[in-house]
Amino acid sequence: MRTCFRMRIVAKKYDSLFIALFTTFVLFGTSATVVGAALPAILRDLHWSYGVAGAIMGAGAFGSFLALYLGGKLIDRLGARALLAGGFALDAASLVFFGATPSPMLNIGLYFALGLGQGCLEVAVNWASLHMDEEGAGRPMNFMHGAFSIGAAAGPFLMGILLASGLGWTTLYRGISFIYIGLFLVTFVMPLQRLPKAGKPAAGNAKKAGGAIRYLGFIALFFYVGTELGLSNWAAEYFVRDFAWGAPAASFIVSIFWAGLAAGRFGIPIFWKRARPDRLLVVLSILLAVAVSLLATLGFGGNAAAPLAAIAVALAGFGASCVYTSIITLVGRASPDDSGSAIGVASSGGAFGSFAFPFLMSAIATAWGVQAGFFFYALMAFASLALCVVLVKSIQVKLARTN
């Protein structure tokens, strides 16, 4: 029976819910990465500068930050169903109209709404994944975010096909919006009532220790998610500018990055079932930092270095695969009686990073070129590694005191 359980990701009673949320995160991943894959075409068609592109990405990230932070605090009161329904509605509405006009202000507002919706979906799915994890090893979380990676890899791939065929990049945005409408309706029959109820909030020293750990998670994810989404949003433009690739071909580089993420998020839970989230976090953070540094350096080689750069992109994706999920799992386990708020605070750090980094990246790219921005991302990957080490040590100390 124990071996059979390990072959499953969640208990049988959660199967239908897991499938519904898995589908949600596939679509979430698609909608989150198509802007990066289409960035060269968007800049050309709408005559936007790097500054406008950075402002739009930043608006989406700020919306996600607000939704994650507030949603984490309210999910126990409102319920996951309300957050899911609100997220689907906001995302569907924003994707219907994004890019219909070149107005920067209107598109900034639409992308802010998209970020709000994505934040609502993320905190609800993270919360549900944590509560479905009866083993405590983070396998449901890794698989769920593997779904995100599937969508994130498929989105740029589909965008590349659309661009190569001459169809407008907005076609994919409109198609995704209609699927979101369908998922909005599905939300009302999801068996969310099967998830266990949260316990009473912890008090005293335990609460203080858990609070410190969630804010360490906030800072670690600030650096990590800013780096992850920065690579996704700017990889296509980097290969156009520094490796002399065409825009349709460069869009597939984003798919390579997310394919590496998907390989790690599915492969590690299946083939390395006994992997501890704390050790996994440190090992993969090291790989991510080294791979991003290599990618930035290869820009000096131009088109001749492009094949090696593509390999570095895949390695960076694999290195990034379980960093986010391990942090969320560890933070949630450190605050078992207040997990909704804990994972909301920690994951909002990632959203804040994805809000701040686009402005920094657009400024760096405008002043010194896109390659300089990738050296910046390498530095941030090492900062994320350092914070992950501190987070792991802090959790070990907390558990030792508790025991």
Domains of the chain: 13-189+199-402 (1.20.1250.20)
Give me the amino acid identity at 393.
Answer: K
The per-residue pLDDT for range 219-246, each reduced to its tens digit, is 999 999 889 888 887 888 888 888 888 8
Query: The dihedral of CA 397, 338, 118, 16: what is its sign?
Result: positive
Copy the structure tokens of residue 283: 């090992």
Say if residues 333 and 129 touch (Cβ distance below 8 Å).
Answer: no
pTM to 2 decimal places:
0.74
Say if residues 320 and 261 touch (Cβ distance below 8 Å).
Answer: yes
- CA angle, corner 395, sides to 317 and 199, nearest 5? 100
HSE of 261 in the Cβ direction (CA atoms, 13 Å)? 31
Residue keyed to tokens 């790690």: 264
Give yes or no for residue 4 having a pLDDT over 50: no
The per-residue pLDDT for range 193-218, each reduced to its tens digit, is 877 765 444 444 444 445 788 888 89
- Residue 357 makes CB contacts below 8 A (sequence gap 6+) with 61, 226, 227, 229, 230, 380
**pLDDT attached to residue 7:** 57
Say if residues 371 and 242 touch (Cβ distance below 8 Å).
Answer: yes
Mean residue pLDDT of the chain comes to 83
Gap between the terminal Cα atoms of the chain: 29
CA distance 296 to 245: 16
Say if residues 320 and 284 touch (Cβ distance below 8 Å).
Answer: yes
- CA angle, corner 226, sides to 225 and 231, nearest 5? 95
